[in-house]
């Protein structure tokens, strides 16, 4: 049986609070779906979809009301932590932080994950959608510029219900879908008009490398189809007059040792099949974690030369909007 959809108003102290930091003319996408009743319908569709789950590229079709899926998750979400985050990309963190909610477990199994205690060991506590909604409203009340769902794909249904609850209680800041990039088109159809900012990883250009190091099939094909659909929904990243993100696509690409990530090919795909104006963070923070020492060359950090070569490859492909990683927000 699907979860019965009952939405209660979250504590009045969060209602209509914390709207600072947005353009006065900006309204998050989900507000229109709330007004039309479509948001509530999407929630029920998401819960119905858990009976034969295809929300990620694994397409495991498990009835998650009866057993956990390949993501090791049933119906309820598990949250590791939440709070303002000042280490995210410049347009997200701004000067008041990105309101991150870290979900435990993951639909990937990256052998070098820097958050493996959360993604692979499942550290956190099970919560109800009402709890997630309260977190969102508390982050808005603290002045965060957005709500940033970290590793959300496998818990799409409770997140959508939480958005409905929080929106009814006055949530009015952008939603960020911060994903490993292995999202299915079925999942993205449910998010169309709900998510304001998509922030997918583009981890690999090669299918065999993706399977070896993240244990998933067809990652490049699934990932590229997802990124194209995300861009179709929200377009290029739009910033307000202070450089804070309002809507659009922001891509993360972690440079791996030995060129394993395939930066040049990913950059060509973005420039030629998505948009030359794609905002990208070519990330330099790789360090060996989890089982990386069992998987050379992942057993060493990247070099400054490797990162510089990756950035140059992205520029050569035609990309030009790079995350600046400013130390201070002026």
Task: Give all strands (DSSP E) within the chain, no chain letters.
Answer: 77-85, 98-103, 125-127, 147-150, 175-179, 197-200, 238-239, 245-254, 279-283, 321-322
With a CB cutoff of 8 Å and minimum separation 6, the contacts of 189 are none
CA–CA gap between residue 181 and residue 199 (Å, rounded): 8
Closest by Cα among 189, 181, 200, 127 to 159: 127
For 2-49, give the secondary structure using H, E and C.
CCCCCCCCCCHHHCCCCCCCCCCCCCCHHHHHHHHCHHHHHHHHHHHH
- Mean pLDDT score, 263-283: 98
pLDDT score for 7:
41
pLDDT score for 1:
37
23 pLDDT exceeds 90?
no
160 pLDDT exceeds 60?
yes
Alpha-carbon Rg of the chain, whole angstroms? Answer: 19
155 pLDDT exceeds 60?
yes
CA–CA gap between residue 269 and residue 290 (Å, rounded): 30
What tokens does 316 get?
A: 């050569």
Domain 26-322: which topology? TIM Barrel (3.20.20)
Per residue in 216-234, pLDDT (tens digit) is 999 999 999 999 999 999 9
Q: Helix, strand, coil: what percent of the chain each, to 5?
A: 40, 15, 45
Q: How confident is the model at residue 311 (pLDDT cuts 50, 70, 90)?
A: very high
45 pLDDT exceeds 60?
yes
Coil, strand or helix at 253: strand
- Mean pLDDT score, 284-312: 97
- Mean pLDDT score, 322-330: 69
37 pLDDT exceeds 60?
yes
pLDDT score for 11:
38
User: Residue 298 — φ and ψ, nearest 5°?
Assistant: -70, 0
pLDDT score for 202:
98
3 pLDDT exceeds 60?
no
pLDDT score for 324:
83
Q: How confident is the model at residue 4 (pLDDT cuts 50, 70, 90)?
A: very low
329 pLDDT exceeds 90?
no
157 pLDDT exceeds 50?
yes
pLDDT score for 171:
98
Output the average pLDDT for the chain. Answer: 93
Per residue in 69-103, pLDDT (tens digit) is 999 999 999 999 999 999 999 999 999 999 999 99
Q: How far is CA 201 from CA 178, 224, 251, 262, 303, in A?
A: 8, 10, 6, 13, 21
- Predicted structure pTM score: 0.93
30 pLDDT exceeds 70?
yes
Residues 194 and 40 sit within 8 Å (Cβ to Cβ): no
Coil, strand or helix at 310: helix
CA–CA gap between residue 293 and residue 25 (Å, rounded): 50
- Mean pLDDT score, 285-307: 97
313 pLDDT exceeds 50?
yes
């Amino acid at each position: 049986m699907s979860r019965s959809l009952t939405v209660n108003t979250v504590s009045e102290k969060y209602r209509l609070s914390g709207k600072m930091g947005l353009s006065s003319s900006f309204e998050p996408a989900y507000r229109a779906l709330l007004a039309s009743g479509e948001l509530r319908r999407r929630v029920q569709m998401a819960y119905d979809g858990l009976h034969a789950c295809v929300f990620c590229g694994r397409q495991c079709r498990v009835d998650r009301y009866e057993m956990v899926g390949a993501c090791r998750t049933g119906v309820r979400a598990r949250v590791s932590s939440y709070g303002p985050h000042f280490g995210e990309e410049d347009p997200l963190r701004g000067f008041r932080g990105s309101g991150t909610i870290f979900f435990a477990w993951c639909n990937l199994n990256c052998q070098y994950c820097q958050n493996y205690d959360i993604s692979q060991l499942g550290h956190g506590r099970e919560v109800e959608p009402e709890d997630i909604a309260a977190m969102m409203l508390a982050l808005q009340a603290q002045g965060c510029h957005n709500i940033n769902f970290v590793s959300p794909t496998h818990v799409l249904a409770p997140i959508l219900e939480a958005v409905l609850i929080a929106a009814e209680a006055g949530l009015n800041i952008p939603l960020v879908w911060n994903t490993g990039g292995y999202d299915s088109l079925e999942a993205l159809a449910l998010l169309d008009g709900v998510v304001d900012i998509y922030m997918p990883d583009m981890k690999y250009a090669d299918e065999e490398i993706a399977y070896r190091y993240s244990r998933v099939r067809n990652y490049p094909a699934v990932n590229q189809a997802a990124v194209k659909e995300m861009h179709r929904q929200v377009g290029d990243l739009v910033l307000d007059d202070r450089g804070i993100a309002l809507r659009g696509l922001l891509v993360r690409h972690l440079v791996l040792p030995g060129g394993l990530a395939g930066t040049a090919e990913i950059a060509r795909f973005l420039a030629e099949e998505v948009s030359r104006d794609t905002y990208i963070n070519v990330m330099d923070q790789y360090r060996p974690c989890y089982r990386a020492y069992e998987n050379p060359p992942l057993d060493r950090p990247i070099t400054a030369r490797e990162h510089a070569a990756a950035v140059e490859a992205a520029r050569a492909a035609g990309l030009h909007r790079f995350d600046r990683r400013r130390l201070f927000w002026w």
